[in-house]
Structure 1
């Protein structure tokens, strides 16, 4: 399958087509013994900014680096193995090595599921699957399947959970020229970060994808409970301040096990083989621990043989802070404002980039992004020095990215 056709038929569908076992119900297949399939993917990426008092970071994905250029936001290596047991079921396992939010690079199992075909077009998966919060959730790790260096952080930073330990159903139906996919799911997940962890619990949702020719539409809704247990120095200091000022009750909005959240997303794609248009909107609503926010992006690309230049505009907006406190003016109020600002990723950006498919299943990408975090936000940046004296909100940052993506 050529790269042009891969992108033309949709990024999410491509991952399923390239990295999973296809079940066929004809008698010849049923007579064959179990079959083993192996695939892999990788990205070597480097990022730098024009302002040397900040790092670029993908919150919930990597820990802000200590080298310039920084290889931690995008670099990864994944291996996947699938075994068809019969003509109606198979097992898939995927292992991924990349830096996580706790600055560790240990390999982690990101897929491990058993799939059973229940009827033509209907299958069930149980185990660890990809949680489909976004239009491009299936191809988040297989960056070769995405047109950019990374999916826009203004949208994909809204929900860092990628894996779901649970069960889902996938139903495919073709009506005339319209392809329909209905995808309900249920389960939970976990992500680590320095001195703490976050978990999703009792998460349930439904995705619907409609495709016809050059066009596709994604609609998604999910909701559930979540916990966010902080143990970092900034939180511990803030908890002591709140207790000392008689506002101990506010601590329950900063860290704990009684959070609830909902997530909605809408995505559209149009690809005629020469032009590619991709757009997505997502909204996160919470009752505590993290901000409620929404974001969107719009991307336009034009292919010239193996080369595709593209442009992206994106925006994330704060809807509601997760806690309120009244502290005396001065240093205590400054520390409280810093705590809230560091948890806000609202920003706007414009990106110009190019993708070069220089070989089969290998692409080189480069991007320049100009981003401006909101006044009360850190956006997608993290201070290299003292957070109290490093101003991020309201400034403009130029970020340069380069990546080599492969799929095999």
Structure 2
């Protein structure tokens, strides 16, 4: 049975169960059999450059106005249904602006979990792709101090869903818990201008050490990468390379296709004693084609003063190997290859300061100002306004103001 059929069966079974089950239904142990929850963010961003837009790779379509509500605004609902003492079904649906510019809701979780013991569980279906330390709460912005997780790190792997299975084994180590999580599956995402990307045969392992006030994370995953760009810059470049012939005609196979391999490693920590917090993460992406190889990190420090939590974040992304090299090509063609590679390079460094205000139960308002310096030969987290052709974020300093209202229910 295909992954799509499995998801359809899981979602359909849970929907039928929800429809048939009274809201107050109890399982054999007396706990509520049906549990509903949700989360939402209303966000707005403004860039100080009229010729640039802020862009979250793989998440949204660059906006057309100075004040953009599409970068962070989202809503999700989740339902879990107990099936006896050891199993449950969970479905989560979410809506946000996609790279295609639509707000069509989609199923982001749809899995069956079996937990034969309190320390061992298995899940199958659609899961969150566990590439980052904060993957499980990636879109629940209320759970984070920032308006959004630092993009220098979280733009390096836009795959958010995994159709497959995972295991979670918790091992007590005195006052600590060791969590061992192997996983396997397939991920798919949309790209701008109806491009597509897919990772097949993803296999990985995450380890976490959890204590009372801190946690450590380490993980690695890899798989086969398929990618099809469909934007005008790609088609223009491929046409020019094929027309040139010779060595140039071999480059398109490195820009798009079905024969890629990519690996992703991450390590991070969180420390929070209720008043002070320190969060850091380092990630590394290695790819043999289609996307560049790069590494990134961030460090956030914050302190709570009643309902307010001011914080400071430093972040950096560096490119290690570009999507394609222009060695030996004629000057005009080399310039076109370098421009294409720059548009796929998110390298930048940033400083962000912000504050979170928990003014009501399960509700937080956040304000964040950031200053980003985009690397030479890169676009960073920004996208040029088509109204000003020839202008790119390459090597520029950009200031971004972000506001958000986050709720959970």
What is the deviation of 1:68? Answer: 2.2
CA distance in 1 between partners of 2:232 and 2:368 (Å): 35
Q: Among residues 313, 328, 331, which one is paired with 1:329 in the alignment?
A: 331
Could you list the runs of 5+ residues in structure 1 that have no partner in the other structure? 1-27
* Alignment check: 8 A CA contact 1:124 1:169 kept: yes
In the TM superposition, what is the alpha-carbon distance from 1:87 to its structure 2 partner?
Answer: 1.1
Asked whether the 8 Å contact 2:325–2:338 carries over to 1, the reply is no
State the match for 1:170 in structure 2.
168
- Any unmatched runs of 5+ in structure 2? 1-25
Q: CA deviation at 1:119?
A: 2.5
Give the equivalent residue in structure 1 for 2:72. 74
CA distance, structure 1, for counterparts of residue 275 and residue 32 of structure 2: 40
Q: Number of residues paired by the alignment?
A: 380
**Match of residue 219 from structure 1:** 218
Under a length normalisation based on structure 2, what TM-score does the superposition of the two structures give? 0.90
Equivalent residue runs for 1:92-103 within 5 Å: 92-103=90-101
* C-alpha RMSD over aligned residues: 1.4
Contact 1:347 1:371 in 2 (8 A): yes
SS of equivalent residue, structure 1 residue 357:
strand
Residue 15 of structure 1 is matched in structure 2 by none
Using a 3 Å threshold, how does the CA distance of structure 1 residues 33 and 268 change in structure 2: closer, same or farther?
A: closer
* Alpha carbons 2:324, 2:337 under 8 Å: kept: no
User: Closer, same or farther in 2 for the Cα pair 1:33/1:207, shift >3 Å?
Assistant: closer
Residue pair 1:245, 1:327 contacting (<8 A) in 2 also: no
Q: Deviations over 1:188-235 (max 9, x none)?
A: 110012221000100000011101221210001101111001122111
Provide TM-score, normalisation by structure 1: 0.91
Provide the rounded CA distance (Å) in 1 between the counterparts of 2:211 and 2:82.
30
Partner of 2:103: 105
The separation in 1 between residues aligned to 2:32 and 2:214, in whole angstroms, is: 36
Deviation at 1:79, TM superposition (A): 0.5
Structure 2 CA distance, aligned partners of 1:33 and 1:299?
38
Question: Which stretch of the first structure deviates more once superposed, 39-48 or 28-37?
Answer: 28-37
- In 2: Cα distance, 1:387 partner to 1:265 partner: 38
| Equivalent residue number for residue 7 of structure 1 | none
- Are 1:116 and 1:125, in contact at CA under 8 Å, matched by a contact in 2? yes
1:34–1:85 CA contact under 8 A, matched in 2: no
- 1:103 Cα deviation (Å)? 1.5
Q: Map Cα deviations across residues 249-272 of structure 1 (whole Å, 9 max, x no partner).
A: 110100001110111000011111
Instruction: Give the structure 1 partner of residue 315 of structure 2.
Output: 314
Q: How far off is 1:59 after superposition?
A: 1.1
Secondary structure in structure 2 of the residue aligned to 1:83: strand
Tell me the equivalent position of 2:231: 232
Of 139, 149, 167, the residue aligned with 2:147 is 149
Q: Distance in 2 between matches of 1:169 and 1:282?
A: 23
